Structure 1
Amino acid sequence: MITAADGLTNEDRWKDRGAFFQSIAATLNHLYWADALILERVKGNARPEETIKHSLTSPANWTDFKALRLQRNEEIEEWSARLNDADIDGMLVWYPGDGSTRIEKPKALCIMQLFSHQTHHRGQIHAMLTAAGAKPDTTDLQMLEY
């Protein structure tokens, strides 16, 4: 999808297309932020300081976004390759950004949410790219080449 978005102008990437986070760029930024939030949570680290509102506009520079996204993807790959049963078992406890309510969920469910959340918004991005005239790569398993 990044390659398909490369073919668009910056204006086209930020154009409001009626999606939940309005634009291709804002939705990609949201995923970048949410991946950090969930990943740091399941690793037992502090949450990122950026808020969801901040995540929709930053990073604003496309080249910066691509570099950061690549870095985050590598971080997720390295982390997931090291997962073991102890990392997945048990409960995860956190407080939302406003600190209002204690939340406790199974770690395995939280890890699954990292990827499920990506899938949800990547579908929106795919639709917006297609509507913008870009040609995203196929996401159908039988069509993927390895």
Structure 2
Amino acid sequence: MISVDYVRQMAAYNQWMNDKLYAAAASLPPALLDAADGSFFGSISGTLHHLLVGDTIWLQRFATHPAAFAALQPLLAEPAPPRLDSRLADDLPALQARRQQLDAIITQWSAALTPAALNLPLTYRNMRGETHCKPFASLIVHFFNHQSHHRGQASTQLYRQGADIGVTDLLALLPDC
């Protein structure tokens, strides 16, 4: 389905896009980041928090994979966010620091990923406590797709406030042949 090269490329794309989102967010006054805008998570800040919450939850699940990825193990010591709209930091600099830390973990994890690990299933509990077993490779695709979906929302929210993040296409990171 997917390869380790795909995962590594998506990890790089994730970090590149998050750097762009946070640079654009930092150009706005804090009041605009928290202003109610009718979006699903209520504000630019709410969307940025949700991205971090979603990534944290999935990486904590990935940390229970039979391959026991060393880069993910420290996440198991952290409490899981209790809600999808949890606030994980008090201000943008603190949220950005956590984002950068998580992006570094994603990069380290992707570097250690093997084809054999991709082919194993992952059993996990969702936030309601229900147990699921899914193909790990498919969960990774979901993980990166979830990020792209909500970064698209955040980029639109930022643009509406006058902060253009610029090029967002993965194509910009692909090398020419």
Instruction: Give your verdict on TM over 0.5.
Output: yes
Percentage identity across paired residues of the two chains = 33
- Aligned-residue Cα RMSD (Å) equals 2.1
Partner of residue 40, structure 1 = 60
Partner of residue 123, structure 1 = 152
Partner of residue 24, structure 2 = 4
* Alignment deviations for residues 83-137 of structure 1 (CA, whole Å, 9 cap, x no partner): 00122112111122332x2211111111111111000000000100000111212
Partner of residue 17, structure 2 = none
Partner of residue 80, structure 2 = 49
Partner of residue 66, structure 1 = 96
Question: Which residue, out of 27, 33, 44, partners 1:24?
Answer: 44
Mark the CA change 1:130 to 1:54 in structure 2 (over 3 Å): closer, same or farther. closer
Q: Partners of 1:90 and 1:138 in 2: how far apart?
A: 35
For 2:116, the aligned partner's letter is A
1:138–1:144 contact (8 Å) kept in structure 2: no
Structure 1 unaligned residues grouped into runs of 5+: none
Question: Which residue, out of 119, 123, 138, partners 1:109?
Answer: 138
* Alignment deviations for residues 3-61 of structure 1 (CA, whole Å, 9 cap, x no partner): 11111111101111111111111111111111111112112164843212562x22121
Q: Secondary structure at the match of 1:105?
A: strand
User: Which 4+ runs in 1 deviate beyond 6 A?
Assistant: none
Mark the CA change 1:143 to 1:96 in structure 2 (over 3 Å): closer, same or farther. closer
1:15–1:23 contact (8 Å) kept in structure 2: yes
Q: Partners of 2:27 and 2:89 in 1: how far apart?
A: 18
In the TM superposition, 1:79-94 aligns within 5 A as 79-94=109-124
Q: Partners of 2:43 and 2:22 in 1: how far apart?
A: 14
Structure 2 unaligned residues grouped into runs of 5+: 1-20, 65-72
Q: Partners of 2:42 and 2:144 in 1: how far apart?
A: 21
For 1:38, the aligned partner's letter is W
For 1:116, the aligned partner's letter is N
For 1:73, the aligned partner's letter is D
For 2:57, the aligned partner's letter is L
Q: Partners of 2:85 and 2:40 in 1: how far apart?
A: 15
Partner of residue 14, structure 1 = 34
